[in-house]
Amino acid sequence: MIDRDYMQEALRLAANARGRTSPNPLVGAVIVKEGRVIAEGWHRQAGTPHAEIHALNMAGELAKGATLYVTLEPCSHFGRTPPCADAIVQAGVKRVVAAMSDPNSKVAGRGFQILKDAGIEVEVGVLEEEARKLNEVFIKWVTTDKPFVTLKTAMSLDGKIATATGQSRWITSETSRQRVHELRDINDAIMVGIETVLKDNPLLTTRISAGKSPIRIVVDSNARTPLASNIVTNHQAKTIIAVTENAPIDRVNALKQSGIEIVFAGDGERVDLNVLMNKLAKHDITSILLEGGGTLNFGMLEAGLIDKVCAFIAPKIIGGRSALTPVEGTGFENLIDAINIEDISIEKIDDDILITGYIINER
């Protein structure tokens, strides 16, 4: 096997913990000696040993003189756990092959320098593109102080998310809806607007075996969320409601007394979405699945806060001039201002189609 093969295995291992390591990155490690894998490991959860430590513990004395393949630069600072770079030096590893450097300013090359100063051969950049895609959430969060946001929408072939009378259950197939629960499972939070809460009274939980329910975020400028709504009375997940400084204090206090966390974002008529994203990032929320209505979706797009789109399209034609669409608001007057999406992938799910792509944010 060659370096790329071993690194591919390390990336596969890292992906085992998808959605479980926040706010830490996904990391996998493989230790090779004399042409064979002698140990491997991956980071499982924040506050637990990193991938390199799992692999080094498995290898024991055999790590001396071996090559370590790791998907991200070994950490060099004391965080929730001790530095991995020091442990690698102490284990007597001869060579380290890393997919990419750590974008975290607390590391940013320092881990590699510790290894080099100890005489360890270091190579960086093997399957870097794949590693960056794996950790797209962590990279966005640690470099911009904002969460990575994925817009999820489910619509008919003619772009409707409900009929003119408001019926929306169900446009897409059961298998597509199951995929949505899988998306919820790997995100830190799910976000909707107050109109979704008032119209649908959703639970916003994950309904898959061994799944985790993300934090529920409601953008509710005037604190209109009913105290009897599911997101208030159901305690399967934490709920955060974002309001403006002008929200009626009696409603805000009533929500707080019901166990809801209130985040103030802006003092205008509407929640300042940029301020909200920064505050959520400080809560260690690194990823958000946006399942909003057309108004919130447009606001997030207009503000340049969405990174990725997952659009489920069902082979149905609903029609209706007043039927709701995934993105509403004022829209963009000129085509040149329209949101462009790149790196497209298309998947068939039963009779539905899932289109996934990345927003080109130039605003």
The distance between the two most distant Cα atoms of the chain, rounded to a whole number of Å, is 71
Task: Clarify whether 52 is annotated catalytic.
Answer: yes
* Pairwise CA distance, residues 251 & 248, whole Å: 6
Residue 356 DSSP SS3 = strand
Q: What ranges in the chain are assigned the alpha helix state H?
A: 3-14, 51-59, 84-91, 110-117, 128-134, 136-144, 174-186, 194-200, 230-233, 249-257, 273-282, 294-302
User: What's the token pair of residue 232?
Assistant: 């208030």
Q: Which of 9, 34, 40, 52 is catalytic?
A: 52
DSSP state of 183: H
- Which residues neighbour 312 within 8 Å (Cβ) at sequence distance 6 or greater? 152, 153, 154, 155, 172, 176, 179, 180, 349, 352, 353, 354
* Pairwise CA distance, residues 129 & 281, whole Å: 25
User: What's the token pair of residue 311?
Assistant: 């659009």
* Pairwise CA distance, residues 322 & 325, whole Å: 9
Start-to-end CA distance of the chain, whole Å, equals 45
* Pairwise CA distance, residues 150 & 183, whole Å: 9
Active site residues: 52
